[in-house]
Structure formats: structure tokens, C-alpha cells
Amino acid sequence: MSENINLVQRRRAQLQGAVGDLGKLVIDALNQSVDCLTRHDLDLAERIIEADARINQQRRILEQECLVTLAAYKPAGVDLRAIGACMELVSELERIGDYAADVARILRKSGPTRFPSESVEAIVEVAEDAIAMLGETLEAFTCGGDEQSARASIAREDQVDRNEKAVTERVLAMMRADPDFAATGTYLLWIVHNYERVADRATNVAERAVYVASGETPELG
């Protein structure tokens, strides 16, 4: 029996590590999307879109590994919570990766004309805070479900929301003042919303980390 428990614990650690590795791919994609936005780099946009397929593939592989582990080892307690959370988080991470690809697609759709630098800088601030949140929540989860760290990791969420609102209000004002700015403004609103959603989903990661540690599902958002 103890040998089986050790195998379950080992498998749990492997899956949490694999979730962390997928998270690194997603964070890399997000950072590339910020670089893409800052430099209005359409070639990089194409590479981000192409690389999204790898994230999608890893999601499918990890989901299957979680299912096999649940069937083969019949984990209980914290091991069951952790493996179940891994299965949920690979889906969350795949969707977050889509946000990076969506930003790249918006850049591609917008064409070669650069966005206003002031708006880009404000959006980058939102993006950087959201990405930092994701990194911290993932670390809390992959370290075995550190409840205190998970709760602390979402401290930036209110700031992200405030900054997104400020960007939205500024862009809408520009659209009202200049009807020709409508298309560009719409692209900017889509982009900042994508990054705000990263922060929302990072909160979901933190909730899963708390759940693994405590068995309780908090509402952190």
C-alpha cells in the first residue's frame, strides 16, 4: 500500500511539474505578444500564432495523462485534489495561450500602421501586471499548493482592472473625438481586454492552489 501511495505522490508531482512547464510556454507566448505589440512586429505575430498549436497539443497530452493517472492510481485526498486541479488548469492555460495568439491576430488584422504609443504603453502596463500574476499563481500551484502564496499572488488584480478601465475610457474618448479612429480604437479595446482576461484566469489558478492545499474552494476574484 505504501508503495502505491509513493507512486501516486510521485505521479502527482510529475503532473504538477508538467503544468508548470505548460505555464512557461504560455508565459513566453504572452511576453512575445507584448513585444509584438510594442514593436508592431507582424512577423513575430505570425510566429506566435503558429506556436499556439504546440500549447494546444500539450493541453491534450496532459489531459490524457491526468485521466490515465486517475484511472490507474485512484488517488484520494490531496493527491486527488491536485491531479483534478491539474486537469482543470491545463484547460485554463490553453485558453490563456489563446489570448496571446488573439493579440497577434489583432496585430495582423490591423496591418502595418502603428498604434498610438501612449495607448500601447498603458496596455503594456496592464499586460505586465497580468503576466506577473499568472507566474506567481502558477508557482504557488506547482510548489504543492501554497495557500498563503496563492492568495498573495492575486494582489495586482484590482490594479489590472483599474488600468484596463482607464485605457478603455481613454480609447473610447479618442473614438468619439475622431470617427476615423474607430477601427484602431476597437483593436486596442480587444487587446487590453485580452490581457485583463489573463489576470482573471490567473485568479482561477490561485483558487485551484488554495483548493489543493485546504480542500476549500475560495472566491478570490
* pLDDT at residue 1, rounded to an integer: 45
Euclidean distance between CA atoms 122 and 196, whole angstroms: 12
Q: Which of 131, 154, 139 is nearest to 218 (CA)?
A: 154
Euclidean distance between CA atoms 124 and 114, whole angstroms: 15
Euclidean distance between CA atoms 1 and 11, whole angstroms: 15
* pLDDT at residue 51, rounded to an integer: 96
**pLDDT of residue 5 exceeding 70:** no
**pLDDT of residue 219 exceeding 80:** no
* pLDDT at residue 35, rounded to an integer: 98
Of 82-91, 147-156, 174-183, the range with the lowest mean pLDDT is 147-156
Percent of the chain with pLDDT over 90: 78
Percent of the chain with pLDDT over 70: 95
Of 98-107, 182-191, 212-221, the range with the lowest mean pLDDT is 212-221
pLDDT band per the 50, 70, 90 thresholds, residue 213: confident
Q: Which of 56, 4, 5 is nearest to 26 (CA)?
A: 56
Q: 105 with 51: CB under 8 angstroms?
A: no
pLDDT band per the 50, 70, 90 thresholds, residue 154: confident
Of 22-31, 82-91, 192-201, 206-215, the range with the lowest mean pLDDT is 206-215
Mean pLDDT value of segment 7-30: 94
Q: Please tell me the pTM assigned to this model.
A: 0.93
* pLDDT at residue 34, rounded to an integer: 98
Euclidean distance between CA atoms 71 and 44, whole angstroms: 41
Euclidean distance between CA atoms 35 and 29, whole angstroms: 10
CA distances from 48 to 99, 110, 168, 218 (A): 11, 16, 25, 34
**pLDDT of residue 183 exceeding 80:** yes
Mean pLDDT value of segment 10-29: 95
* pLDDT at residue 221, rounded to an integer: 58
Q: 85 with 212: CB under 8 angstroms?
A: yes
Mean pLDDT value of segment 124-137: 96
**pLDDT of residue 143 exceeding 90:** no
Q: Which of 64, 52, 53, 56 is nearest to 15 (CA)?
A: 64
Q: What is the DSSP string of 19-42?
A: HHHHHHHHHHHHHHHHHHHHHT-H
**pLDDT of residue 145 exceeding 90:** no
Q: Which long-range contacts (CB under 8 A, 24 or more apart) does 213-220 make?
A: 213/78, 213/144, 213/145, 213/146, 213/147, 213/150, 214/147, 215/78, 215/81, 218/151, 220/151, 220/154
Give all domains of the chain, ordered by start, each with its CATH number. 2-214 (1.20.58.220)
- The burial class, CB within 10 Å (0-12 / 13-18 / 19+), for 185 is buried
